[in-house]
Amino acid sequence: MDKLNESLQAKIDRAGPKATESIERCVDELTKFKDLPDIIFTTALERFHSHSTRTIFLRLDDENKLRWLYSLGNMASTSEGASHDNDSSTETPSTPGSPGSNESDVPEEFYFLKDLICPELFRENVPRNTSVLQGEGWIAEIMSTPHAGRFYDNIRMTKPCFNALVDALSSRGLLPQGQTAGVSNIEEVAIFMQTVGMHKRQRDSVEQFQHSLETIHRRFHRVLSALCALAPEMITRPNWTNTHPKIALNPDFYPYFKDCIGAMDGTLVPAWTPRVDQNRYRSRKGRIAQNVLAICDFDMNFTYVYAGWEGSAADARVLDDAISQDRTFPFPPSGKYYLVDAGFANYQCFLAPYRGTRYHLAEYRGQGRQYDTPQDMFNHAHSRLRNVIERCFDVLKKRFPILQWGMPSYLMGHQVEIVIACCTLHNFIRRFSQDDDLFNEPDDESPGDMDAFYHRGRPNVAEIEAQRAFWDAIAMQMWGDFSNN
């Protein structure tokens, strides 16, 4: 008895807090029954090592607890008698659904109580994924469809681009084949695209691809990790040497913005957080979100992405952290700059619009086309150029609805990785599929965030004066050319 108690105590010490508590409760219940034979007491202690035994035992009333305990005594006596019988040493094969089969983890001695307690523990293990069209078959059907739109709507990119993506991930060793049997690289990338591109839960993919939830989960995260590993190759700094053709070939922008190399802004991506963190992630619009800072070039490629900040943080605060903490931040060379809105401080390599003057594109339509001042004209050109980052965010969220409607139940670290992975896919598609429908949609000149005008940072006086001189030089040059024509 002492050795058994020592063994039990050793197991309790190794168990987690919840297991320890449940074992101790079972022992307390056991000691309530006086005059139990030693063989019953010791056998019960051994059985309490099993989680399912403890769960059922604690649900029983005292009468059924005693029934179970004495059934243990009978089984133990039978076992001891059988140990002396050489003919009884042969194991009897169990049939599916019988107490001794592998169909259930419920201890055999509880089967006399199966109709009284825990019926969910006694159900038979019925196969779930029995569809005729397995995941591999669905992929083969989609890959062979002659209708390009059907493939695009399901995978969110063209078939040649999808094949190039699978090849890029596998050829770089980011998705080595054979780690998990039964799922090809093509199928696991399709699982990922269905999740982020169709906003499907992983349980939906269980039915779609006829794999277990564990397999879907593992494959999704394998592709997620692979895309994050591909990100440094896809999300690269802009061209700092040549003026972009969108500027160079447009007299409204050249030569005034010849040194502009891109646009920067922040966007809110709905987030899921534990209740204790929700206030930090609650944006000024009341939504739980992460604030994602991004820079893009005029080809609509992301050149920098900084994700994971709380939705309550102002864009300028996120930028300050990116500059101070991230060594990969793409600082442009002297004289080059990014266009930003009024949510950011106007200094160094960031050029914001004039405040107190109309700015958003909708304000310049119709009768508003006429300019009143040099600052007014400057703001319109600035807004037209900076709108490229709004279009990037628009395309990104249209292609990947998970960034628009949220990522329930993912850890925050994985939510950040999903943003990075989607931006990586955005750039990959832009690079390998120039005729992609979403990129070719007409520019609707998104209005941007009006609230940004009231959430800007506070640069120092010298920076304000230097940037104002730069502002004024561009604005007056534009105004002079406009007046002369």
Percentage above 70 pLDDT, the chain: 75
In this structure, are 342 and 430 located in the same domain? yes
267, β-bridge pairs: 292
pLDDT at 3: 54
Give backbone dihedrals phi and psi of 357, rounded to 5 degrees, phi first: -130, 145
In this structure, are 258 and 407 located in the same domain? yes
pLDDT in tens, 282-339: 998 899 999 999 999 999 999 999 999 999 999 999 999 999 999 999 999 988 999 9
Question: Residue 47: inside a domain, yes or no?
Answer: yes
pLDDT in tens, 17-53: 666 677 888 888 888 887 778 778 888 888 887 887 8
Total domain count, the chain: 3
In this structure, are 346 and 398 located in the same domain? yes
pLDDT in tens, 77-104: 555 554 444 444 333 333 333 333 333 4
In this structure, are 142 and 221 located in the same domain? yes
In this structure, are 264 and 340 located in the same domain? yes
Instruction: Output the pTM of the full model.
Output: 0.70
Question: Residue 385: inside a domain, yes or no?
Answer: yes
**Can the peptide bond before residue 255 be classed as cis, meaning omega within 30 degrees of 0?**
yes
Quick one: how many helices (H) and strands (E) in the chain? 18, 5
In this structure, are 196 and 296 located in the same domain? no
In this structure, are 291 and 426 located in the same domain? yes
The pair of structure tokens assigned to 196 is 């982020």
pLDDT at 43: 82
Cβ(301)–Cβ(430) below 8 Å: yes
Residue 280 CA to residue 233 CA, distance in Å, equals: 32
Question: Residue 31: inside a domain, yes or no?
Answer: yes
With the C-alpha atoms ordered 125, 128, 130, 135, is the resulting torsion angle positive or negative? negative
Question: Residue 369: inside a domain, yes or no?
Answer: yes
Question: Residue 156: inside a domain, yes or no?
Answer: yes
Domain end position, chosen among 190, 207, 234: 234
Domain end position, chosen among 234, 253, 276: 234
Is a pLDDT exceeding 70 seen at residue 9? no
Give backbone dihedrals phi and psi of 226, rounded to 5 degrees, phi first: -65, -40
In this structure, are 322 and 407 located in the same domain? yes
pLDDT in tens, 384-397: 999 999 999 999 99
Q: Structural domain of residue 174, as residue ranges?
A: 136-234
What's the mean pLDDT in 164-185?
86
In this structure, are 50 and 169 located in the same domain? no
Cβ(185)–Cβ(166) below 8 Å: yes
Cβ(430)–Cβ(299) below 8 Å: yes
